[in-house]
Amino acid sequence: MSSTITNKEFKKSYFSRRKKEKEKFNFWITSTYIALLSLISLLLLYYVWILNVNATKGYNIRELEIEKKTLLMEKELLDVQIAELESLSTILWDDDLQNMERVWDTDFLVIRDDVQYVYNY
């Protein structure tokens, strides 16, 4: 047998401390870079989602404003029609009014508090 024993399976690599520290540093830089990229991508997705929500709400608000304008215009037209129908000239020239007779002997009823009224024929 020989005086030197060699083991072919024994291959242990010996790294220096500087190399180990550099590998740790590179690992942290890489992990920080990946974390920042993932954070930026998540913020970008959140921004797009917020834009979509705001656009949808803005569209709904615009639809409601258009509906409000149309309803206000309809209300104004109805107010004009009411004013026209309640005007004195319309009432005086109404066909139902022309078929009525004039009352010459009028009796008025005055309602007072705490008095009971009975109508006698």
Chain segment 57-77, per-residue pLDDT in tens: 888 888 999 999 999 999 999
What tokens appear for 77 in the block? 């037209």
Greatest CA separation for the chain: 154
Identify whether the C-beta of residue 84 lies closer than 8 Å to the C-beta of residue 90: yes
Residue 3 pLDDT grade (very low, low, confident, very high; cuts 50, 70, 90): low
